Structure 1
Amino acid sequence: MKLPYKDNIIMWKRYVDDIFCVWTGTDKDLDEFFKMINSKFKIKFTLEHPTSNTINFLDLKVTLNNNNDFSFDIYRKPTQTNTIIPYHSYHSPSIKRAAFNFLIHRLLNIPLSAEDYQKEINMIYQIGNDNQYTREYIDQILTSIKRKQLLKKIYPHIAIRKHFISIPYYEDLHQHTQQIMNKYDYTIMNSRHRTLENLLLNNKNKKKPEEQSGVYNINCSDCPAFYIGMTTRNMKKRFNEHQKNQPRSALGNHLNESNHNTKFENLKILHKESNYYKLTLLEQHEILKNKDSQHLLNEMSDFTIRDNSIFKLINSRQ
């Protein structure tokens, strides 16, 4: 089946919920296409037409030229300000450089005309000046980034491995500590200091055990049968799914076929964990511990040590 309007779409680029489309049909065709996609999906699209062959997409200003190629410029919203972390603020140098790293990488990676390039570098200088950074400071970052990009083009096959260590920032110790760490190929990443509020209070909403993810054991209320499972979601929701047998599970099949029942009090949390790979190992560990029990509902064919690649890897390293 031929998709409608497929031949009218020359380019379709998506970033999160923003889509850039190059359309070759008429405005009427575009409006019909817009109505069609809004009728096919639950999400609703909005349509923005170019003005004088120019449209803003994210932080780019894209212009269609007379020779059917594109030119680019940096787009800033009218509400954007030049405020960044001031030079004299008590932050580590790497955090202060972050804003200029972003601005300069964008400057070098977007194909700007010579005029637009100069306009943007002047804007970066202005942002620095408004926040007490010197022109020389910005030029050093610009030179460093250009040098790294050049080395990457000359030696693209050499992978540079970096090791990082995270410690709070102390102005008097930072430079001396970094010099020591450089000898061991470590780069310091500065974490924020703990505040009095952090030390005295924990404002995070604590989840109830049954609202967390992990490995669990559920016993049948009418017989000694039990089931071991794991979930990366809410355990209470997963328990309700077992009762409804949606999606199908060994426990759900047992309850339906035997006309048995279970209750939420029969759920026992064995391990609290959110990492999928750790959960898989912990679940298999619990199943293998109970593999000789005749009341275990889990299918052992999926968890035999001989066929399990994870346990093969563990045994090979012992």
Structure 2
Amino acid sequence: MGNPLSATLCEFFMEDLEQKAITTAPPHCKIKLWKRYVDDILEIIPKGQTETLTQHLNNIDDTGNIKFTYESETEGSIAFMDMKITRQTDGTLNINTYRKPTHTDQYLLWTSEHPTIHKMSVIRTLYHRANMVTEERDRKQEDKHIQHALKTCGYPTWAINKGKQQTTTERKEQPKQRTRNPERQEPKPVITLPYIRGITEKIRATMKKHNINTPTKPYTTVRNRLVHPKDKIPAGLKCGVIYEIPCKLCNKTYIGETGRQLNTRTTEHRKECEKETNRKHTRAAKEEAESTIKKSAVTDHCTRENHVMDWDNTRIINTEQQKYKRWIKEAIEIRRRGCGTMNRDDGVYSLDHAWDCIIEEGRAGGGGWRRPLLPVDGRG
């Protein structure tokens, strides 16, 4: 968030401030060790000089906006970042993984709607931290703690062992030195996919064959299921929708999309239909009207079949504000219904038939990944 230069400018400021603080520190507060990461500092100073040094540091910044606080060691131990540093009786230091007293060992659940690679990264991260921070003699105890925490979150044993093995292998391998490639390769195309269990994995496998990177993002979250901070907009006033208009006298429906309000688009459909159906025709004029292709497929259906559309049960199938994505979603809905639509074509976007097997699976599975259908009047 904010300006991209903010972090760099803050680092420049802190480096200048700490150099002044260290060089001008009182002689009796001589700093033996100063290690800083962002705004966390580990210091070793003479005993009993903590208050004096803190007061000195707070006087360095003339604006008074920078305030230092401190935390002293307790029973020979102090926490710094993810490390718990403990002084031993022989003067050596013992370093273990630090967890706050409020830490609950709650990680991404194995049953959550996230791709498996995200869950495997949780395992690798925990073991990587243990290997980097924990002393060798305490690593066995840390391993037990990690396994217990992961199993509580539903992680199977095979996944824990695999993640641990991958971390161990990475440690043994020598770091590869970067070499400049004179023939710079073009970057791979990237397509971000919403994660839908059972479908996204198949799409990723297909994309991988064509050398396309496919990062994923969560689709079903607690936030979009439970949190609705804004007042609900009536369905007829929503913009950027894919909609369905059924016929009263047959099972066919019309699938359309619009970036405007749904009521505006359905009113246009309705006026054109009523204009044609209310017109008095002679037999010759009627035959001519039936052979003429109208602007809307809805009007064509009403004119040729002498049917009436069920305007009151117009429903929103999906929503999408981006026009190009909305075209794709419209094409998917038309393709899924097959001969059950009165549409004259497959939509604006020409959807490749390679997607038919996935669309068929979504239809056979009850369309669990579709958004709920909403009537235009907003009634449940």
Supply the distance in 1 between the matched residues of 2:139 and 2:36 (Cα, whole angstroms).
26
**Paired letter, 2:75:** S
State whether residues 95 and 133 of structure 2, in contact with CA within 8 Å, keep that contact through their aligned partners in structure 1.
yes
The equivalent of 1:26 in structure 2 is: 47
Higher normalized contact order (CA 8 Å, seq sep 6+, divided by chain length): 2
The answer to whether residue 38 in structure 2 is matched with residue 16 in structure 1 is yes
**Corresponding residue for 2:207?**
181
Is 2:73 aligned against 1:50?
A: yes
Cα deviation 1:79-128 (Å, max 9, x = unaligned): 111222221222211222332232122012114132x2111111111111
Q: 2:176 matched to 1:155?
A: yes
Unaligned residue ranges in structure 1 (runs of 5+):
204-318
1:110 to 122, 133, 137: 133
Deviations 1:208-233 (A, max 9, x none): xxxxxxxxxxxxxxxxxxxxxxxxxx
User: Which amino acid in the other structure matches residue 50 of structure 2?
Assistant: L
Q: Which residue of 2 aligns with 1:3?
A: 24
Q: Decide whether the 8 Å contact of 2:120 with 2:159 is kept in 1.
A: no
Gap runs ≥5 in structure 2: 1-19, 231-380
Provide the identity percentage: 22
Picking from 104, 122, 125, the partner of 2:144 is 122
Contact 1:128 / 1:135 at 8 angstroms: preserved in 2? no
Which string of whole-angstrom CA distances, capped at 9 and with x for unpartnered residues, describes residues 181-225 of structure 1? 333454432123389979xx997xxxxxxxxxxxxxxxxxxxxxx
Instruction: Name the SS of the counterpart of 2:72 in structure 1.
Output: coil
Q: Highest CA radius of gyration, 1 or 2?
A: 2
In angstroms, what is the RMSD of aligned CA positions? 3.3
Structure 1 residue 72 corresponds to structure 2 residue 90: no
Partners of 1:145 and 1:186 lie apart in 2 by 26
Q: Say whether residues 1:98 and 2:121 are aligned partners.
A: yes
- Once the two structures are superposed, the pairs formed by residues 30-41 of structure 1 within 5 Å of their partners are 30-41=50-61
Aligned residues: 197
Would the alpha carbon gap of residues 148 and 187 (structure 1) be closer, same or farther in structure 2, given more than 3 Å must change?
farther
Question: Are the structure 2 counterparts of residues 104 and 119 from structure 1 closer, same or farther at C-alpha, using a change threshold of 3 Å?
Answer: same
Please tell me whether residue 170 in structure 1 is matched to residue 196 in structure 2: yes
Alignment CA distance shift 1:107-1:159 (3 Å): farther
Distance 2:53 2:150 in 1: 45
Secondary structure in 2 matching 1:12: strand
SS in 2 for 1:40: coil
